[in-house]
Structure formats: structure tokens, C-alpha cells
Amino acid sequence: MGAAGRRAAGALLLRSSEVPASVAESFILSGYRCPGSTFAQCLASAFQPTNETGNFWTHFVAVFIFAFRVAEQFWGEGAGLLEPFYYPLWSYCLGVGGLLVASSMAHLFNSMSLLMREVCFYIDYGTISAYTVGSSLAYFYYIHPAPAGGASNLSSGPWLGREGAGGLGALLGGWFEALYVPSACLVALFCTLACCSSRHQWPRHRYLIRTLVFLLPFAVVSIPVFHKLWRVGGGQGTGRFFLRHCCWLLASGLFNVSKIPERLSPGKFDIWGHSHQWFHCCTFMSILDELHMIRGEIRELGAAPPPLPRAPTFLSTFGVMLCLLLLLATIVGCFGARAYATQQRSQRRKGD
């Protein structure tokens, strides 16, 4: 039966030679769903062995594991969780939840059409960027909170590692206060643009590009952690969890770029065990260790909101996330419109 017949049957899977080049993955030879699958067929494919089944479940199940890990710390807290002190935590949870849900849905529904495939992964890239900004908000308020005496205390040394550093410490601290979160947002927008562009340009290096551009936010967002480790050590296990977080991220990047194990034995890992599934698992493990680190910092600050001049507000947390999501939606919309226009031109050329 040819590809058209299989598409009509709606159940059989295709080989890489039977799907468009934009759908075929390196070293994955079989297990592809029929392009043009219906919504119901995509849902059913979650329970069938395809090359996307593991990609879906590794992040869909992770949603519930993450929710449980967040909830277990706060049983019995009640209305206290609605205090502004916890706004950065919920902004972080919004970023993580969006990433996991968008990723699992992208892998589940990307076979509905070639256009839907592009849009699904544009959204996926955008939610990864939103997650990094959610992390930056948690780091900003919990891992490196402003000193209780006010901004003038920044000159007492926390930015130079010794007491009495004077004006330079205050200057660096002031730059951090003003630029850290905006910089995280700008880097997130750049990463989304770069990853969306990689679906149309630099095809031979697309996985390397996507991996590298998402290491850039890590370097920017982690500044408060590096500073705390340099100044006062780990506290509440910060150093240990952050090291594990970094190791899992490194492992996820290696899987994403190397395409191991399927590179070593093409065709053997088409359904289970290929690199993208391991990439998902390592990424989620890094998120869990990051959550442990943030929970430890919250415990260190205390159960009650500390009297800090840098107090989280709705606008400085959820407001930042909502503005970022609007900008990311604009980027996704522009790339989606471009993909639609390209598809229409291709169809007209075929008709001629």
C-alpha cells in the first residue's frame, strides 16, 4: 500500500522516505504518522507506538509530577499561598507548566498538517522562553533578595565579595536591580526568534543552534545563583541542587545535538529510547532540581514575607509574564503567517 493508501487508512505508519523532508528526523527511519491526521487520530496516537508517543508522555506525565512536587511543600498553607510573597513562585510554575503542556501537545498534534506542525513547534519554543523568564523572577526575588536596609546597603559589598567596597558595589547592584529581569526577557525573545528561524534556515545545524541559544538564557538567568554561591556558599542545598540542575541541562543538550542512541543504530530506536525522549527526561530532571533549589531558598527566607524593599507585586511578576506571553504570541503569529504564505505559494506552483 502506498503513502496515499496509508493516509486514507489513518492507522498505518510511514517510513522517513514517505513523509516530507521537513517531517523526517535524523536517523529515525520509521514510525511516522500520516500527515493530515485528524484531531481524533492524533489523540488516539498517544496510545499507539509511534515515534512521537514517548515524546508526548515524557512531558505530559511530567506535568502531574511537577504539580505534586509543588503541592507537597504547601499542604495546609491555605490562603497564605495567595500572598504577594509567593507571586514569583507561581510565575515560575506558570512558566514550567506552560512548557510541559505545550511540548506534549506539540508532539501529539503536529501531524494534523505541515502548517500545524510548524505552529506547534513555534509555540513550543515560545513556552521554553517563558519558562526561563519565570525562573528569572523566582531567582530575582528568592535567591538574591535586596538587603533589608534598603538599596543603599548594596554598597556594603555584596557585589564585590568584601565589606566596604563603596560606590562600585552600589553601581553594580543598581544595574542588577534595573536590568536583570528586562535582560532575561530580551534574551528569551531573541531565543524564540532564533529557534523559529532555524526551522527555515541552517537546516544542517538546526539542533546545535537550538541547543546553544537556550544555553544563553541559562547564563543570564543564573547570575543570582552564581553570585550567592560565590558570596555565601550553598545555603539550604542551593549549591548541590544547582550543580545537578546544570548537569541535567548539559546532558539534555548532548542528547539533543548528538542524536545518540539512534545515530549509532538507525532504525532501532524509532519508537522508544531515541534522543528526544532522553532530552525530555533530562530537561524535566533539571526542572525538578531547580524547584528543590527554589523551595530551599523560600524556606531560608522564612514562611512570612520578609521586610524587603524589593517586594514582589502582581505587575512585577504576573504582569511581566503576561507582557512576555503577548510578545511571544506576536512572534509565533508572524512566523505562523509566514509558514502559511509559504504553503500557499507552494500549492499554487503545484497547481500551475
Q: Is residue 220 part of a domain?
A: yes
Sign (positive or negative) of CA dihedral 77, 80, 81, 85? negative
Over 50: is that where the pLDDT of 212 sits?
A: yes
Q: What is the mean pLDDT of residues 289-305?
A: 81
Q: What is the mean pLDDT of residues 222-236?
A: 80
- CA 19 to chain CA centroid, Å, is 28
Q: Dump pLDDT digits (tens) for 145-172.
A: 654 444 433 333 333 333 434 444 555 5
In this structure, what C-alpha cell is assigned to residue 12? 498505518
Q: Smallest Cα–Cα separation from 9: which of 32, 34, 31, 29? A: 34
Burial class (CB in 10 A: 0-12, 13-18, 19+), 239: middle
Burial 300-322 (b: 16+ CB within 10 A, else e): ebeeeeeebeeebeeebbbebbe
* Range ranked top by mean pLDDT from 108-112, 142-146, 178-182: 108-112
Q: What is the mean pLDDT of residues 197-212?
A: 82
Q: Dump pLDDT digits (tens) for 240-275.
A: 999 999 999 999 999 999 999 999 999 999 999 999
Query: Percent of the chain scored above 90 by pLDDT?
Result: 61
Q: Dump pLDDT digits (tens) for 57-77.
A: 999 999 999 999 998 877 655
Q: How far apart (Å, rounded) are the C-alpha atoms in residues 123 and 125?
A: 5
Query: What pLDDT is stored for residue 148 in this prediction?
Result: 41
Query: What pLDDT is stored for residue 263 in this prediction?
Result: 95
User: Could you tell me the pLDDT band of residue 235, with boundaries at 50, 70 and 90?
Assistant: low
Please give the model's pTM, rounded to 2 decimal places: 0.87
Please provide the size of the chain in residues. 352
Q: Smallest Cα–Cα separation from 174: which of 154, 203, 148? A: 154
Q: Is residue 217 part of a domain?
A: yes
Q: What range does the domain containing 300 cover?
A: 52-351
In degrees and rounded to multiples of 5, residue 348 shows phi and psi of -65, -40
Q: How far apart (Å, rounded) are the C-alpha atoms in residues 182 and 335?
A: 23
**Which one-letter amino acid corresponds to residue 83?**
E
Over 80: is that where the pLDDT of 226 sits?
A: yes
Query: What pLDDT is stored for residue 346 in this prediction?
Result: 76
Q: Is residue 13 part of a domain?
A: no
Query: What pLDDT is stored for residue 12 in this prediction?
Result: 81
User: Could you tell me the pLDDT band of residue 232, with boundaries at 50, 70 and 90?
Assistant: confident
User: Grid cell 495567595 — which residue?
Assistant: 82
Q: Is residue 245 part of a domain?
A: yes
First to last CA, the chain: 28
Q: How far apart (Å, rounded) are the C-alpha atoms in residues 83 and 62?
A: 27
Mean pLDDT of the chain: 84
Query: What pLDDT is stored for residue 177 in this prediction?
Result: 83
* Pairwise pLDDT comparison (236 vs 30), residue with the higher score: 30
Domains contained in the chain, number: 1
* Pairwise pLDDT comparison (174 vs 290), residue with the higher score: 290
Q: Is residue 33 part of a domain?
A: no
Query: What pLDDT is stored for residue 170 in this prediction?
Result: 55
Q: Name which of 76-85, 147-156, 343-352 the model is least confident about.
A: 147-156
Q: Is residue 5 part of a domain?
A: no
Over 60: is that where the pLDDT of 79 sits?
A: no
Q: Are 114 and 340 in contact (CB under 8 A)?
A: no
Q: What is the mean pLDDT of residues 20-49?
A: 94
Q: Is residue 147 part of a domain?
A: yes
Q: Dump pLDDT digits (tens) for 99-137.
A: 999 999 999 999 999 999 999 999 999 999 999 999 999
In this structure, what C-alpha cell is assigned to residue 197? 528561524
Cite the DSSP H helix spans in the chain.
3-9, 39-45, 53-73, 87-109, 114-138, 167-197, 206-221, 223-232, 238-258, 275-301, 320-351
In this structure, what C-alpha cell is assigned to residue 153? 546597603
Query: What pLDDT is stored for residue 219 in this prediction?
Result: 86
Neighbours of 4 (CB within 10 A): 10
Q: Is residue 71 part of a domain?
A: yes
